[in-house]
């Protein structure tokens, strides 16, 4: 019985070694069969590590908004085919102020290439949202803005090229502004 087990173990090791290519002579090419062309390995899609869960880098057309009136500042940019950055913020949130500094720096670097249109979703008067904040909130809903701070970039053809919620640093904003203004 021991001899049978030993023979089986040796046979399995030999098969495993041959299957892994361990027993072949690598110096001499095989003459009896042509070498098969290596099949390219499937490459997984590149995942960017600097995108938020709600960020979109795939261009989508600016929606035909029928539920609310598009603010004149936005409509005039769309009609003139001007790239724009829409910034939805809440003036009561400190994070909104930090991102505004980053956004203003990028806008200064790209002056004349892209316009900035801002909407304060937290503007109140006597504890009640102002009319402009209500209109901004309606537009934010139509654009699927989840919560402020939120940036939406629109290129000159009226396509949303990028959207981002929360903190984002200057380099990423700058990269996406350049992409939207190409």
In a domain, 47, yes or no: no
pLDDT at residue 7 in the model = 59
Q: Tokens standing for 65?
A: 């908004």
Check if the beta carbon of residue 70 is closer than 8 Å to that of residue 139.
Answer: yes
In a domain, 108, yes or no: yes
Range of the domain at 122: 60-180
Number of domains in the chain: 1
In a domain, 157, yes or no: yes
In a domain, 161, yes or no: yes
In a domain, 35, yes or no: no
pLDDT at residue 133 in the model = 87
Q: List Cα–Cα distances, 44 to 9, 19, 47, in angstroms.
A: 39, 27, 9
In a domain, 43, yes or no: no
pLDDT at residue 110 in the model = 93
In a domain, 89, yes or no: yes
pLDDT at residue 122 in the model = 87
Residues of the chain below pLDDT 50: 22-24, 26-30, 33, 37-54
pLDDT at residue 48 in the model = 41
Q: What is the CATH number of the domain that holds 163?
A: 3.40.30.10
In a domain, 162, yes or no: yes
Q: Could you tell me the pTM of the whole model?
A: 0.66
């Amino acid at each position: 019985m021991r001899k049978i087990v030993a023979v089986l173990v040796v046979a399995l090791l030999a098969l495993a070694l041959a299957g892994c290519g361990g027993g072949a002579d690598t110096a001499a090419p095989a003459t009896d069969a042509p070498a098969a062309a290596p099949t390219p390995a499937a490459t997984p899609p590149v995942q960017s590590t600097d995108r938020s869960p709600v960020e979109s880098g795939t261009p989508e057309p600016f929606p035909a908004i029928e539920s609310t009136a598009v603010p004149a500042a936005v409509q005039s940019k769309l009609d003139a085919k001007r790239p724009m950055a829409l910034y939805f913020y809440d003036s009561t949130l400190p994070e909104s102020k930090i991102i505004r500094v980053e956004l203003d720096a990028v806008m200064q670097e790209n002056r004349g290439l892209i316009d900035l249109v801002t909407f304060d979703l937290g503007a109140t008067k006597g504890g009640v949202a102002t009319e402009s904040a209500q209109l901004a909130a309606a537009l934010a809903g139509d654009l699927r803005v989840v919560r402020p701070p939120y940036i939406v970039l629109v290129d000159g053809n009226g396509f949303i090229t990028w959207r981002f919620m929360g903190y984002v640093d200057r380099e990423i904003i700058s990269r996406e502004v350049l992409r939207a203004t190409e």
